[in-house]
């Protein structure tokens, strides 16, 4: 991302603290990147939400975040690490 520090905190994964990538939402309304929550559930052997630690979650119970929020995430400018081109959305 061009300026990760300027990304709204509501658009960050609560596990890795990076902007959400392929975001999913729990029934308790917390959002995570799909890879992060998958690792949390599979590799860490956890069964509850990383934020509230009380709501049981499974991969099947996760839902995609809303379309408007996905659009906001898709419009965060990024910089290519290979060619250094920036302002890519």
Percent of the chain with pLDDT over 70: 88
The two counts, helices (H) then strands (E), for the chain are: 2, 3
Burial (Cβ within 10 Å: 0-12, 13-18, ≥19) of residue 37: buried
Read off the pTM: 0.77
Per the prediction, the chain carries an average pLDDT of 85
Report the alpha-carbon distance of residue 13 to residue 16 in Å, rounded.
6
Report the alpha-carbon distance of residue 81 to residue 79 in Å, rounded.
6
Residue 61 has pLDDT above 90, yes or no: yes
Report the alpha-carbon distance of residue 31 to residue 33 in Å, rounded.
7
More confident of the two residues 53 and 86:
53
């Amino acid at each position: 991302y061009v300026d990760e520090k300027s990304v709204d905190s509501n658009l960050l994964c609560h596990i890795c603290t990076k902007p959400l990538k392929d975001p999913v939402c729990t029934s308790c309304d917390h959002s995570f990147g799909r890879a992060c929550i998958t690792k949390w559930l599979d590799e860490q052997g956890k069964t509850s939400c990383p934020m509230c630690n009380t709501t049981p979650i499974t991969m099947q119970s996760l839902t995609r975040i809303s379309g408007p929020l996905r659009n906001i995430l898709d419009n965060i400018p990024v910089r290519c690490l290979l060619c250094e081109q920036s302002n890519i959305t």
